[in-house]
Amino acid sequence: MRGDKVGKTQSVIGSGSMRITLVVSTISGGGAEGVLTRMANYWAERAHEVTLITVGSAKDDVLPLHPGVRRIGLGLMGHSPHVGAAWWNNFRRLKRLRQAIKVIHPDVVLSFIDKTNVLTLAASLGLGIPVIVSERNDPRHHDIGTVWARLRRLLYPQATAVVVQTDGARIWAERFLKSHMVHVIPNAVSVPDVVRNGRTEIKRPGWRIAAMGRFAPQKGFDILLKAFAQCARKHSDWSLIIIGEGGERKRLETLAVELGIADRVSMPGRMLEPWRTLCGADLFVLSSNYEGFPNVLMEAMACGLAAISTDCPSGPREIIRDGVDGLLVPPNDVAALAGAMDRLMADATERQRLGARAPEVAERFSRDKIMNLWDELVSRILRDEPIMRPVRFCAKDYQPGTTP
């Protein structure tokens, strides 16, 4: 059997084609979902047989897919009113996912995000198909519940490979996994070609700070509003726009009113092309308490924006070169964030200096560099090659003009 498997995978590599199935909860617009969608498109562009499965329905899709990607939506998302319903619903998801994987019978399965990873590993048990799972948030800070956390510890050792995005997350994973199983591959930055060729939005009157993300406590938008309130009176021609949506909207709107800055703050909701707004802004702020590897920070920098970010776990320290293309401040510190904002709001020369170096992020974390790492990992697995040296990205090794 082992000889048959090796022959099969070598044939797949030799023909230049592989069958890869990607699994995620939905592709309705989240950061991790966007990353997985772009990976699916990348492999489809190269004539691989790509299937993208979501636990949710395909009717909820908002992210564009290459026409060569086969799309399967299980339509099994939804709230479980009690524990019994939750177990039953997850059993249905596991069963349907297993059926889909058996029918497709890919060369490799790649799953994104903690709970979906657990379901995918459970659904794949005994099928003889390699499974790669990837953590897209910082598991040291992102609570998925006691039961799910125990299942993750039980099932992750059954994966062929576990991909994290930073060394901090790698250290967490190596506490219960063999080190050769754990690979570090960050996100690639994704911006339209028109952005690479120069900023495209007509500058509006006044000055604008931009922020973007899900309206959730993790993102620290309450800290951002409080910091902006401390700067607003001094900088009367500045406004703040927060792009995104989520359960914290009402609380954030109320807070803006209480701080007396509601007329200076806009929250327009999700945007399919946020780069248009980013290119028209003057400063970007990431105020998160923790991250996985923040796409929005890279996208803003690629648009030529000077950026201020909390030095939270994990990702910003790998992305921002403090004092070179942005500033790092302690997380959950209103005074520190307000101080950094005040400094750059008052100094156009400093903003321009940082903003001039910021677009280098698009080369440091280019799609080709990052996808080369994914290709290397998948190719090793398809060749049934022992992985003694994990795939590891090191940000300091990737400077403008270098190759991976």
Same domain, 183 and 235: no
Same domain, 178 and 224: no
Same domain, 347 and 234: yes
Residue 403 lies inside a defined structural domain of this protein: no
Give every strand in the sheet of 49-54, ordered side by side. Answer: 69-73, 49-54, 19-24, 108-112, 131-134, 161-164, 182-184
Same domain, 305 and 358: yes
- In this predicted structure, what is the pLDDT of residue 196? 62
Dist. CA 197–CA 82, nearest whole Å: 52
Question: What CATH number does the domain containing 305 carry?
Answer: 3.40.50.2000
- In this predicted structure, what is the pLDDT of residue 2? 35
Dist. CA 190–CA 34, nearest whole Å: 9
Q: What pLDDT tens digit does each residue of the chain (404 aa) get?
A: 333 443 443 334 444 689 999 999 999 878 899 999 999 999 999 999 999 999 999 998 988 999 999 999 999 987 788 888 888 999 999 999 999 999 999 999 999 999 999 999 999 999 999 999 999 999 999 999 999 999 999 999 999 999 999 999 999 999 999 999 999 999 999 877 666 655 555 556 789 999 999 999 999 999 999 999 999 999 999 999 999 999 999 999 999 999 999 999 999 998 878 888 999 999 999 999 999 999 999 999 999 999 999 999 989 999 999 999 999 999 999 999 999 999 999 999 999 999 999 999 999 999 999 999 999 999 999 988 777 688 888 655 444 434 33
- In this predicted structure, what is the pLDDT of residue 3? 38
Bridge partners (DSSP) of residue 273 are none
Same domain, 42 and 111: yes
Same domain, 231 and 164: no
> What one-character-per-residue DSSP string does 349-404 give?
HHHHHHHHHGGGHHHHT-HHHHHHHHHHHHHHHHTT----S--B--GGG--TT---
Residue type, position 312, single letter: C
- Supply the pTM of this predicted model: 0.87
Residue 402 lies inside a defined structural domain of this protein: no
The pLDDT tens digits of the residues spanning 31-79 come to: 899 999 999 999 999 999 999 999 999 998 988 999 999 999 999 987 7
- In this predicted structure, what is the pLDDT of residue 194? 65
The pLDDT tens digits of the residues spanning 105-152 come to: 999 999 999 999 999 999 999 999 999 999 999 999 999 999 999 999
Bridge partners (DSSP) of residue 328 are 309
Residue 203 lies inside a defined structural domain of this protein: yes
Residue 89 lies inside a defined structural domain of this protein: yes
Same domain, 183 and 252: no
Domain that residue 168 falls in: 2-188+366-397
Residue 245 lies inside a defined structural domain of this protein: yes
Same domain, 137 and 201: no
Domain count, the chain: 2
Give the rounded distance of the alpha carbon of 5 from its chain centre.
33
Same domain, 159 and 231: no
Of the candidates 28, 32, 74, the one whose C-alpha atom is nearest the C-alpha of residue 51 is: 74
Same domain, 52 and 112: yes
Kindly compute the dihedral angle of the four CA atoms of residues 283, 288, 290, 292, in this order, to the nearest 10 degrees.
-50
Give the rounded distance of the alpha carbon of 260 from its chain centre.
33
Collapsed DSSP state (helix, strand, coil) of residue 65: coil
- In this predicted structure, what is the pLDDT of residue 201? 54
Same domain, 381 and 392: yes
- In this predicted structure, what is the pLDDT of residue 106? 97
Dist. CA 47–CA 18, nearest whole Å: 9
Residue 404 lies inside a defined structural domain of this protein: no
Same domain, 175 and 68: yes
